[in-house]
Amino acid sequence: MTRTELKALRRRYETELFESVLPFWVRHSPDRGNGGFFNCLDRDGRVYDTTKHVWLQGRQVWMLSKLCRTVEPRKDWLELARSGAEFLRKHCRLPDGRVAFSVSAEGKPVYVQRKIFSECFYVLALSEYARAADEPALLKEAQSQFEKIWAWAFDWTKVGRPSYPGETPKQSLAVPMILLNLMEELSDGDPRPYSAEVDECIRRLRLHVKADTRRVHEFTAPDGSLLDSPDGRLLNPGHAIEAGWFLQHWAARLKRDDLSREAADIVRWSFESGWDAEHGGLFYFQDAEGFSALPLESRMKLWWPHCEALYAHLLNYSITRSPADRDAFKKTDAYAFSKFRDPEYGEWFGYLDRRGEPTHRFKGGPYKGCFHVPRALWLCWRLLKTLEERP
C-alpha cells in the first residue's frame, strides 16, 4: 500500500473510532445513578433493558483504560473506567470468587455461567484500569483472580458444570485463546511472568489447527484428534482468526518465526474457507464436511468476526508485505464499512442476514458492547500509523 493510501486509511479509522463509535458509548451507556454501564442500547442509543452483562462491563472498562494509556489520559474516559471498575468490584464478584454473567441495574446477581469468561473479562478490566489509574493494588487483585481462573480453566466441573457418563470428552479453542490474550494484558506484553502457562496454551491452541486440511476446529478431543460429531466438525472463522492474531502477538514477543508463520496461516485459512463468495462477508459457523452447521445463526454475518479479520489481515500484511494479506484486509474493510457501519446514529450494527441486511437494529445487547468495534479500530489505526511512518 502506498503512503497516500495508508494515510487515508489511518484518517478514516481515526475518524470512525473517535467521532462515531466511542462517542456513542460515552454518550449513551453510563449509568450515572448506579455506576457501571448500560449495555442494551437501541440503534439511537436508548436503553431498552437495564440488565447489565458483566462481559461487557469488563470489556468497556478495559477499552476506556487502554485508550487513556495509549492515546490520551482524558479525565472523562478515566472517570467512566473508574465507575465501571468500582461497579465490577462491588457487585459482580461473588463470595466464592466467581463472577456473575449478568446483574440488575443496581448490581444484584441475575445469572452465573458455569464457565470462566466473566472472570476473564473481570481480570482484563482490572489489570488495564490499574495501570491507567496507577493503582498497583488492583493489579495484584487481577493477578490473584487469574490464579483462580487458571485452576478452573481446563476442568469446568470446578465451577459447577456437571459431567455426565455419556459425554464425549472435548476441549474448546475458546479457552487457550482467551487465556493467551489475558496473559498478554496482565503481563503488559512481557513474556516472562507466565512463560509456562503461555507455552501450555500455545500447545493446546495448536491442537485445533489441522494443516493438512487447512482448517481450525472449534472443538477437538483432549489429545487434538478429530471428533466425528457436529461439534467436532464445527468451524468458527471469527474465533480462529482472533486466535491467529493473539498467537501472532506472542510469536513476536517470543521471537518465534515458526509460530508467526503458523499464526498467519490460521488467519488466511479461516478467512478463505469462511468467506461467502456469493454475497460477501464471513459466515458465522461452518461444518468442516459440508453438512449444515447446527447453530441457526450459521449463515448470518456478525460484526465481531469482521472486526477480528480487519486487524488480523493488517497485522499479517505488516509482517509479510504479502499482496494476498493486503487484499484480504481491503476486502474485509470494504464489506465491514459498507454493511455494519451506521452513518446516521453512529456505531455499527451487529447482526446481518446472509445478504448483508441488518436483522437487529440495536447497537448493544448481551454480547455486543464497547469492545470488538472500538478495539479493532484502535488496533488498526495504531498499526496504520506505524506503517505510514516506516521508510
pLDDT in tens, the chain (391 residues): 999 999 999 999 999 999 999 999 999 999 999 999 999 999 999 999 999 999 999 999 999 999 999 999 999 999 999 999 999 999 999 999 999 999 999 999 999 999 999 999 999 999 999 999 999 999 999 999 999 999 999 999 999 999 999 999 999 999 999 999 999 999 998 889 999 999 999 999 999 999 999 999 999 999 999 999 999 999 999 999 999 999 999 999 999 999 999 999 999 999 999 999 999 999 999 999 999 999 999 999 999 999 999 999 999 999 999 999 999 999 999 999 999 999 999 999 999 999 999 999 999 999 999 999 999 999 999 999 999 998 8
139 found inside a domain? yes
**pTM value surpassing 0.95:** yes
pLDDT of residue 391: 81
Kindly state whether residue 108 falls inside one of the protein's structural domains. Answer: yes
**Predicted local confidence at residue 7, as pLDDT:** 97
d(CA 367, CA 388): 34
Q: Cell numbers at residue 362, please?
A: 440495536
* pLDDT value for 286: 98
**216 Cβ neighbours under 8 A, 6+ residues apart:** 173, 208, 209, 210, 235, 240, 243, 266, 269, 270
Does 389 fall in a domain? no
Residue 131 lies inside a defined structural domain of this protein? yes
Predicted pLDDT at 387: 97
93 is a domain residue: yes
Query: Which structural domain range is residue 58 located in?
Result: 49-163
Which DSSP letter does residue 219 get? E
Burial class for 374, CB neighbours closer than 10 Å (0-12, 13-18, 19+): buried
Looking at the domain assignment, is residue 229 inside a domain? no
Do 353 and 301 form a contact (C-beta atoms < 8 A)? Answer: yes
Residue 117 lies in a domain: yes
Is 56 domain-assigned? yes
Exposed/middle/buried for 222, CB within 10 Å: 0-12, 13-18, 19+?
Answer: exposed
Structural domain total, the chain: 1
